[in-house]
Structures are given as structure tokens and as C-alpha cells.
Amino acid sequence: MNFRSDLALECREPLRSQPEGLAWSEERRGEIRVSRVQVTSAAAAQAMGKPQGHYVTLDVPPFGESADIFGEALDCAARELAALVPPAGTVLVVGLGNDGITPDALGPRCCAQVLATRHLGGELAKAAGMENLRPVACLAAGVLGRTGMESGEWIAAAVRVLEPVAVITIDALAARRLARLGCTVQLADSGIIPGSGVGNARKAITPEALGRPVISVGVPTVVDAATLAVDLLEQSGAQLPEAVLRRALAPGGAQMMVTPREVDLLIERAAKLLAMAINCALHPGWQPEDFLALV
Amino acid sequence: MNFRSDLALECREPLRSQPEGLAWSEERRGEIRVSRVQVTSAAAAQAMGKPQGHYVTLDVPPFGESADIFGEALDCAARELAALVPPAGTVLVVGLGNDGITPDALGPRCCAQVLATRHLGGELAKAAGMENLRPVACLAAGVLGRTGMESGEWIAAAVRVLEPVAVITIDALAARRLARLGCTVQLADSGIIPGSGVGNARKAITPEALGRPVISVGVPTVVDAATLAVDLLEQSGAQLPEAVLRRALAPGGAQMMVTPREVDLLIERAAKLLAMAINCALHPGWQPEDFLALV
Amino acid sequence: MNFRSDLALECREPLRSQPEGLAWSEERRGEIRVSRVQVTSAAAAQAMGKPQGHYVTLDVPPFGESADIFGEALDCAARELAALVPPAGTVLVVGLGNDGITPDALGPRCCAQVLATRHLGGELAKAAGMENLRPVACLAAGVLGRTGMESGEWIAAAVRVLEPVAVITIDALAARRLARLGCTVQLADSGIIPGSGVGNARKAITPEALGRPVISVGVPTVVDAATLAVDLLEQSGAQLPEAVLRRALAPGGAQMMVTPREVDLLIERAAKLLAMAINCALHPGWQPEDFLALV
Amino acid sequence: MNFRSDLALECREPLRSQPEGLAWSEERRGEIRVSRVQVTSAAAAQAMGKPQGHYVTLDVPPFGESADIFGEALDCAARELAALVPPAGTVLVVGLGNDGITPDALGPRCCAQVLATRHLGGELAKAAGMENLRPVACLAAGVLGRTGMESGEWIAAAVRVLEPVAVITIDALAARRLARLGCTVQLADSGIIPGSGVGNARKAITPEALGRPVISVGVPTVVDAATLAVDLLEQSGAQLPEAVLRRALAPGGAQMMVTPREVDLLIERAAKLLAMAINCALHPGWQPEDFLALV
């Protein structure tokens, strides 16, 4: 039974000492707290259980509490993202995850609201009032079980066609603490390895594998039931035999997740916020409202 | 922090002594275990935290493991249900719950697959090869927040129009143990009070309130995160202050649920099984396959 | 083969003479043309093939051309609707039609975006900043084939519970001319008889039947293929035997409809426009944008 | 105003003489009529307005009349398809069209029910009882407007990764006669050029372009309103000026389509039939029912 978190911030918390090559800072932008974790040595990467790279975490107002996404959270996410993406050239946006599993559907649902522009020729774009838009292509990679191809294979194939200056991925994340659900956004430049969290690592979607920047944007939507339980027991100083825990927490081998009751709403709001942040980051002259009419 | 289970079977387990008016029995039907709990005194009802009535629980093969619903589970559920419904006369079938919240969507999705026949006049029914079908009407009551009327109000209004001999409700349930999710069906004749589990009781959907039998059919789809945690701590002999638990388990007051990762699939399969069991129970001369072509 | 139009405006056009009791006027509101047809005698009703009442038609900018619904069309539709509904008291909003048949799905999809407020108690409403909202209940009546109850039965049952001061229905309409699709809104106070257009009239949803005002709001989404064909032949002065026409236009008895290729988009936009117009008409102190965050 | 049909059978009908290189035959398989058109010369291709190749048309019982797809139509479609696909090696199945436009959604909806097997390693396949399955990958290519990449680009990229022995495409077709809708399947080996029917031809999905067999499977779901109207007028011997026709049939330049009222149901049934035919053709030892549990 292993602890699991996709959030660099949570991986740093339990460390007793700060290894060399691990830097951390925090700032406030209005009501948003921005935390930055930099992992710049192999030792720090091993201590964190995360590859080297920069991880930015935004603590935003709970998605569930307001349907209005056009506020500080959007501005802040767009600005942080823009800082990670080269300022010009084609960008490939990829929605990872499975549209048929609610807590995993963030990627495809976000991707559907990102404005694809690469196919707009000069005349067409002019007619639509969309001149000078940056070329963007979108890919909701589906999941292995449904296409017979890995996400990583699709992305590598699309990269060969498009030759983008950067790849942006969107994915649902697992957190360690329930308090992180529905109010956190993470951006990172280290890439990801799909399925590594659930034990079947596959073709990497990393800067090394793709030969260009890969920016991962994610929102935690679940906590593993086992992670929650072991954490609580540890806090209480108690222990239960692993066999008892397995029986209670993963009966029949099923993977159990903790989510807010309103997880469908959370996913919907988060998908919209991230999509608009990506749209704004990639087309700086535009207002968020402009995209609503087009996607 | 209260323990919560909608399953009579689970409410009986922790009882130290068996109060008068509480009977329990168990039998096997092939691979299905059928448990019966009878609550026939006020004392037993209070000890159980459940109204007086008969509760039948079926332990069925996990919904997630096979897409084939036409087996012993269907036969058994149809037979148990038929024993609770008067043999002739109009029946009103009601899907409770919220289609927009995945673990709560069992009722509406099941209801959509129940064959409505009340509107078929003699000629029309004959042309469709559907003579001698029992009159059935279906109602997916939606939720309070979206219609401005309570489920109980809708049902009472429909009962006045239809004058049915019985009402069948379908609802997602909360269990206490994760091992119950995805492999349990409960039937009961005590009726339900919507929202009573989550603390805002409303207009009753009970035999007393509606003046006719009310048969509730349900499948547990979630365990409250708090229930799971308190259970584990108790098993380990440890304790944590309630304030700590609240902070960990219900941050910001959000209700947290534990579900299998495959909850969407579980709901889909359970909805189909229950719908076909209802169809078979109400139209005994028909085969389950016959309904697939009509709903 | 009969001509069919749900638009009073189109029923008036072919009349050779203007019968007594039929009045017509037209005005402009910015880019919107507002036409009013008043049918106030039995002779006029028969000539028109429409019950007595007031019919208001709005020619609005094509729904397919802009995703921005917050313009003159919304203002105008809200104002016309407000003039037809009593200024205070509970209102029941009903979405007619079948969500599973795209060109017929306007009613249910609109209804899902109308704000239901009747269940909000004083404290709850205050907390949500929603004091002084008028009580509104919503009903997507589904269709006969799926519930076993007629729309009219549902509505009559809900009216008994709610005792509303008015009922507003939303429905997809059939037009005679393709040019009407996607750019027309009709409001009427004569009520409707579901299915009367397709030959199986059922329980009336009229002021007489329900004992209170019934305001019908609709948007034409289809033209019958037969209507289109017969119109064209007539214009050309040609004729084809009815048997030939039937074979060409209704092979195997199937009903054939003409729709814009983008009918899914048209329905989505029209549903949103009508929902916001209803919200604004019923809660005059609010801005359209306020509702977006709540539905 | 041009006539338009994607069915080779309908393109052959109006020909006055039979050009060299055009062969035609017809046979019966139980209740299915199988027509074969072979276009083997440039002259025949020009006369037909279709590229050289073999076109097989199946007249099947109307999709709308029975939900049972497991009959002669399935057997016949699977057998004809199997005859066009090499007997071993990886196959790429592509769903063309737009899931958001009902009459164009056949491809994506069919593709979702085709069993993808390429990712199943030996052990995994054995555990699932799926040994000796042929490698299949699926791609619902989405549409240009939503991904920024053409279908043809996606397919070319996937072909480079997979090196399949054949590509199977699924697409909604346009017919000339309404009687063709809902009861016709066409298979062809000539490939297709997406969008060529609606006037914006794009990257070819043809055997020449992809360097391997391309088998197109399709079902007609619409008739262009203009095609229908011009046909009727011609039959009646009448004429209308083109400007009048344009105003009546394509107001504001919108493309108008004729579909059965039940087009949603037609698409659902056709998607299932084609998916099962593809599954059966690619995995000959399996029964159709076996696939239902896996997709």
C-alpha cells in the first residue's frame, strides 16, 4: 500500500530534510497562493519521487462554489502557463484520461473547449475575425483500452505531423489530502508517464521523448482510499495489518477512490477554467469571453 | 460524525443483542446469497435505525466483471421483486436521484430502461405484439434543485392520476463497507424518505404517505469517507479528535464519498440489471431479451 | 398530404381574403421584426387552422451565426413574454418534446436551463443572494412512449400541486418555409394540443383545460418534406399524382423532415436563448448573466 | 444545384448507356439484396462520378423497425467485409464524421463499439480469454474544426505508427432517394476524400495515398433537400428558375438535409450493426454476442 500524490507540493511536505537541488517558494497574487517547487538534482528527484523540473501550484477558490470562472484564478493560470510556453509557433494540446470515467475525464472535457486554429487558412481566419491567431491543434487521446494505441504513440505521431514548438497536456491528478480537491491547479514542465500512478507505466510524454517542451496542466480530482486511510491511521499512531487494510480498502482488488460528492460539477468547472487559461495563454491579445463564442 | 448505511444487513451486524421483533435468515440460490431481515417491532426499528418492514439483500456476482446481465442475478431479483408487488393492476416506477451526479444516477438511468406500457391502447398494443401487458408508468423524478418540486410531491401527484396498486422506487444507496459496492441489491417494502441519509429529510415516499405498497430497489454505489475512516480507526483501537477527523474528511464542509474507480460502469450495469428485473417481474410471460428491443 | 405549419404568421400568408376577427400588425425593435397576429373569431380561427388567441413572431438574427445570445433578441423575447405572464405568483415551466430526437429536443434542453426557485426557503435563498425571486417550478415532461403518461396528464397533476398563476410551455415547431428555421421565435397565449401536428391529438394543454393562462414559446426547427415538396410543385405550376409523391416523400410511411445540417447547434442556441428570456421575464430585477452561474 | 449521391448504385441508375468498364450484378442472400457495381475504366468512372473500384450495396430490413441486429444483415455485412480485408495483420478502423451533428455521427458512434485489441499483450489477452485476436486499432478522427488537423492527416500519422495491412473507414453517406435511408449499407474499396461531397475536398483517404487497401463502409442518413426537390420537379416535367430554388432550398446559404424523424435511432442501430459486422469480419472464430460484453 503506497502513498500516492501527483502534486509536487504534497510530495515535499513529508520530507524531514531538504535535499540539495530542491527549492521552494511561495507568493500571493490576490486571493491566489502560488507555490513553486524546483527539483534540480537527481537526489532531490529521488527524495520527492518526481522527475526534475519546475512545479507551480495554484491554490484557487473552490471550483464548486462559483460558476464564474473569469476571475483571478483564470488570469493567474494563464499567466503562469504563458511563462512556460514559447511565445510563437504551433502548439499541440492533448487531453489525457478517459471520458467514460468521471474523475478521469478532465483532459478530454477540457480539450473540447480549447480553440483549434491550425486549420484556418488566411482568408477563412480573416472572415472569422481570427487573424494572427497562433496555430493550435487539439488531441483528446482517448485511452489505450478503447483505441488500441497508447496516448504516447498518438502524441508522437501527431508531433511528427505538426512539428509543434511545445506540447501541453491536461490530466486529472490524484492528491494525498482531500482538502486539495477542487481548489488546486498544478503546472509542470517535467512531462508525464501515463498510467505510472496506477502501476502500468507506458510510453513517456516527456521533453526528452518528444524533443520539445512538454507542459502538464492538472487538477486533483481524487484521493486514493488507501492513501487516505493509511494517513489517518498514521496520524492516530495506530496500525492495522496490511491484509486487514487490503480487505477493507481494496476488496476484490478493486481500486477505490475518494471524491467530493459533486465531482461531476468540479470536473466541468475545472475543465472550463483550464481550457480558457490555455486559450488566453496562447492568444494573448484576446479576452476570455471571446473564446466562449467559438468553442 | 455518524456511521451511515442504507443496507439493513449492515445495520444488523453491529448489534450486540437481537431485539425482539428482529428476525434474520439466509439462503442460497445458485451463486446468489439471499438474506432476509424482518423488522416487526418499534424496538427493533430503533435498534436498527430503519423503519419496520422486510429487507431482502442479494449478494450477486460483481457488476464490473461481466457485461452479461442475463443470469441468476436477474432471475433472482425478478422473483424477489414479483413477490412484493400485487400481481395485477397499474404500477408506477420511479427513478430517484440526480442524473448529473454519477454515483447518484442509478435511479434515472434504470428508469429509462423500464418499459412504459400504460399509454398503449388495445389496437396499438396488439400491433406491437404487446397484448396483455400490465399498465406501467415511469417517472424519473429529477431532483429538487432542478425542478423546484420535491420527489415526494411529484410521486404524490402521479399517484393521484394513476391510482397504481404499487409504487416501485429505484435509488442509489450508501453502504458501510467497500466490499458491498458493485455486488449487492436490496429490496425493501418500508418506503424511503429522500435525503434523510444526507441530513435534509423531505416528503416521505412510504406506504403510509401514499396509501399503497412502496417497494424500494437499490444498489449501494458509495461509502461515506467518514464512515470508512471511523470504522478503520475503531478496528485499530485508535482514536482521533473529532476536529481532526472533520478537517481531514470533510474539508470546507464538502461531503466526500468512496467509490470504485469504475463507478460509471458499475452504475450502467446495475441500472440495466434492475430495469430488466423490474420488466420481468411486471410482465411474467416475457423473456428478458424481449425487453431489450423495446426500451 | 397536408400543408403544415405551427407558425401563425405562415398560416396567414396564403389567405386570399382577411376574415373578420383576424388582425395583423408589424413593428421593428432594432434588428428584430415583431409581427402580431390576433385571432378573435371562430371564422378567423377556422380560416387560419389555429385556435383563437394572440400570436407574436420575432424575426431574430440566425442562431447559427453567433454564440452570443445576450443581445436584442433576448431583450425582445423577455419583454414580449413578460407582457403575457401575470406579474407575481408561482409559474410552472414545461419543456415539451423528446430529448432523444434532435429536432424535437428544444423543450427539454431549454427547461434544463430555466432556474427553479420554488423550493428555496427564505434562509436558503438569502444565503444564495436570491431573495425575492418568484416561485418557479420546471417540468420536462418527457414523452408518452417513455413515461406511459401524457404530457397533458403530467401538467394537470403538477398544476394541482402548485396552483400556478400561469403555465409556460416550450416546444420545437414545424414551419412551412426553410427560411424560417433558425431565426424565428413564436409566443402565443392559445395553448397547444401535443401531437396534433403529427396526427395523434392528445390531452390539451390550453387555458380552458388548465384553468389559467398558458403561454407557448417555440422555435421552428423542421419543415415537413412533404410540405416543402408540394409547395415547390405548386410554385412551378406542376403536379404529381399523390401516389408518386407518397412513394418519394414518405417511403414505408416514414415521416421525413428537412432541417439545417447544423440542427444540433441551432437547438442548443435556441434552448439557451429561450431559457434566458424566461429567466429574465420572471425575475425582472436580474441580469441575464446572473442566471448563467446558477443553472 | 447539383445532384448528389454517395451510393454507386444510385449513380448508375440515371445513365442512359452502359459505358465500357462498368459492370453490374445483383444476387439475393435470404432477405438481403446484394448489388455489385464494378468501375474499371476511366470512362466509367467519369460517367458515374465515382473513382474506379468495387462497390457493394446491401438492401437490409429497415434499421428503425427492429432493435435486433443479430440476423441476416449482420452475417451478410460481415461476410462482404471479410472478402475485402486481408486475412491477417493489423487493421486500423477509422470513424469519420462529426459526433456533434446527428446525421454525421455514424462514424464516431460505430467506432466506439469496435473492439480495439492491438494493445493486449499475450498474458493480458490470455487472462481475458482473448487469445489469437487480430490486432485492431480504432480512431475516431474528429473533425477538422475541432482538432485543427484533417482526418487524412490523422490517418496518415496512425498508418505510419501501426503499419496496418488495411484501413477500414466508417462514414455517414448522402443518398439521392429517401427510400434508401435506414435500409442500405455500402462497402467500397476505392477510398474516400473527406468533405468532397460538401464542396471542400481535403487530404485523400485512398489506397493510393495510404499505400494499402482502404475499405469504406457507410450508411446513407440524409438526402440533400436540393437533390430531392430537383428530382421531384424533373419527374413532374416542371421547372423553376435556379434563383427561386436557391431561395427556397438554401436560404441564407444554409445546407438543408432531409432525414427521417427518427434519425437518432437510425444512427444508433446502424452504428451497432456496422461495428458488430466489423468485429465479426476481423475475428472470424467469434460470435457477435461475444463482442457485446467487451465494448
- Cβ B257–A260 below 8 Å, yes or no? yes
Residue burial D65-77, b: 16+ Cβ < 10 Å; e: rest: eeeebebebbbbb
How close does chain C come to B71, measured CA to CA in Å?
26
- Closest by Cα among B117, B107, B73 to B216: B107
Boundaries of every domain in chain B: 8-294
Written as tens digits, the pLDDT of chain C (295 aa) is 456 799 999 999 888 888 999 999 999 999 999 999 999 999 999 999 999 999 999 999 988 777 677 789 999 999 999 999 999 999 999 999 888 889 999 999 999 999 998 887 666 566 666 667 899 999 987 766 688 888 888 899 999 999 999 999 999 999 999 999 999 999 999 998 876 655 555 789 999 999 999 999 999 999 999 888 888 888 888 888 888 888 888 887 788 999 998 899 999 999 999 999 999 999 988 888 778 767 6
Chains that contact D by 3+ CB pairs under 8 Å?
Answer: A, B, C
Residue range A101-123: mean pLDDT, rounded: 87
Q: Find the mean pLDDT for residues A68-90.
A: 92
Q: Which of residues 36-75 of D touch B (CB under 8 A)?
A: 66-68
**pLDDT above 70 (res B274):** yes
Is 90 exceeded by the pLDDT of residue B88? yes
Dihedral in degrees, nearest 10, Cα atoms A188, A194, A199, A203: -120
Q: In this predicted structure, what is the pLDDT of residue C189?
A: 97
* Best of D98, D264, D265 to mutate (most C CBs within 10 Å, chain C): D264
Q: Does A202 touch chain B (CB under 8 A)?
A: no
State the pLDDT confidence band at A133, using cuts at 50, 70 and 90: confident
Distance of CA C53 to the CA centre of its chain: 15
For the four alpha carbons of C51, C52, C53 and C59, in that order, the dihedral sign comes to positive
Which residue has better confidence, D241 or B276? B276
Across the interface, do A240 and B240 touch by the CB < 8 Å criterion?
A: no
Chain C residues near residue A293 by CB distance under 8 angstroms? 66-68
Instruction: Identify the closest residue of chain C to A68 by CA–CA distance.
Output: C293
| Mean pLDDT for all residues in chain D | 88
What would the mean pLDDT of A201-222 be, rounded to a whole number? 92
The CATH topology of domain B8-294 is Rossmann fold (3.40.50)
CA B291 to chain D, closest CA, distance in angstroms equals 10
pLDDT of residue B54: 97
Pull the grid cell for residue A217: 496542466
How far, CA to CA in Å, does C228 sit from each of C3, C225, C245, D177? 9, 5, 12, 16
Q: What does the block give as the cell for D138?
A: 480504432
**pLDDT at residue D121 in the model:** 67
Residues of chain A contacting C66 with CB distance shorter than 8 Å: 293
Q: Assess whether pLDDT exceeds 90 at residue A287.
A: no
| φ, ψ for residue D50, nearest 5 deg | -140, 145
Among the residue ranges A219-228, A280-289, C139-148, D201-210, the one predicted with the least confidence is C139-148
- Rounded CA gap, B148 and C118, in Å? 5
Residues of B with CB below 8 A from D68's CB? 293
pLDDT-wise least confident of A10-19, B184-193, C82-91: A10-19
Among the listed ranges A13-27, A184-198, D90-104, D172-186, which one has the minimum average pLDDT value? A184-198
Beta bridge partners of D166: D91
pLDDT at A289 over 60: yes
Mean pLDDT, residues B199-227 taken together: 90
State how far residue B213 is from chain A, nearest Cα, in angstroms: 31
Tens of pLDDT, residue by residue over C105-151, are 999 999 999 999 888 766 656 666 666 789 999 998 776 668 888 88
**Would you state the pLDDT for residue A190?**
95
A294–B contact, CB cutoff 8 A:
no
Element at A106 (helix H, strand E): helix A106-111
* Residue B234 binned pLDDT confidence (cut-offs 50, 70, 90): confident
Query: Could you report the predicted ipTM of this complex, rounded to two decimals?
Result: 0.88
Check residue C203 and give its pLDDT.
82
Mean pLDDT of chain B: 88
Angstrom distance (rounded) from CA D197 to CA D143: 15
**Cβ–Cβ of B257/A255 closer than 8 Å?**
no
Q: Between A and D, how many CB-CB pairs are < 8 A?
A: 68
Instruction: Summarize the confidence of residues A24-42 as an average pLDDT.
Output: 96
**B 98-117 residues inside an 8 A Cβ radius of A:** 100-104
Query: What pLDDT score was predicted for residue A1?
Result: 46
| pLDDT number for residue B285 | 80
Question: Amino acid letter at B251?
Answer: P
Within 13 A of A55's CA, how many CA atoms are on the CB side?
Answer: 28
Residue segments in chain D with a per-residue pLDDT below the cut of 50: 1
- Mean pLDDT within A25-54: 95
D62/C252 Cβ within 8 A = yes
In chain B, count H helices and then E strands: 12, 9
Q: Is D129 on the interface with B (CB under 8 A)?
A: no
Phi, psi of D248 (to 5 degrees): -75, -35
DSSP, residue by residue, B68-115: ---SHHHHHHHHHHHTTS-SSS-EEEEE-S-TTSGGG-HHHHHHTTSP
Model confidence at B73, in pLDDT bands (50, 70, 90)?
very high
Give the pLDDT of residue B50.
92
SS (H, E, C) chain D: CCCCCCCHHHHHCCCCCCCCCEEEEEEEECCEEEEEEEECCHHHHHHHCCCCEEEEEEECCCHHHCCCCCCHHHHHHHHHHHCCCCCCCCEEEEECCCCCCHHHCHHHHHHCCCCCCCCCCHHHHHHCCCCCCCCEEEEECCCHHHHCCCHHHHHHHHHHHHCCCEEEEEEEEEECCHHHCCCEEEEECCCECCCCCCCCCCCCECHHHHCCCEEEEEEEEEEEHHHHHHHHHHHHCCCCCHHHHHHHHCHHHCCEEEEECCHHHHHHHHHHHHHHHHHHHHCCCCCHHHHHCCC
Give the separation between CA A178 and CA D205, rounded to whole angstroms. 49
For B50-75, what is the mean pLDDT? 88
Look at residue B1 in the predicted model and tell me its pLDDT: 46
Query: Rounded to the nearest 10 degrees, what angle do helices B263-282 and B72-82 cross at?
Result: 50
Give me C285's grid cell. 430585477
**A66 contacts in chain C (CB < 8 Å):** 293
* Long-range pairs for C25-31: beta carbons < 8 A, 24 or more residues apart: C29/C72, C29/C76, C30/C72, C30/C76, C31/C61, C31/C72
Q: Which of C68, C293, C294 sits opposite A293 (nearest CB)?
A: C68
Q: Is the pLDDT of residue A2 over 60?
A: no
Predicted local confidence at residue B237, as pLDDT = 85
Residue type, B294: L
C-alpha to C-alpha distance for D162 and A258, rounded to whole angstroms: 38
Q: Does A157 lie at the interface with D, CB-CB under 8 angstroms?
A: yes
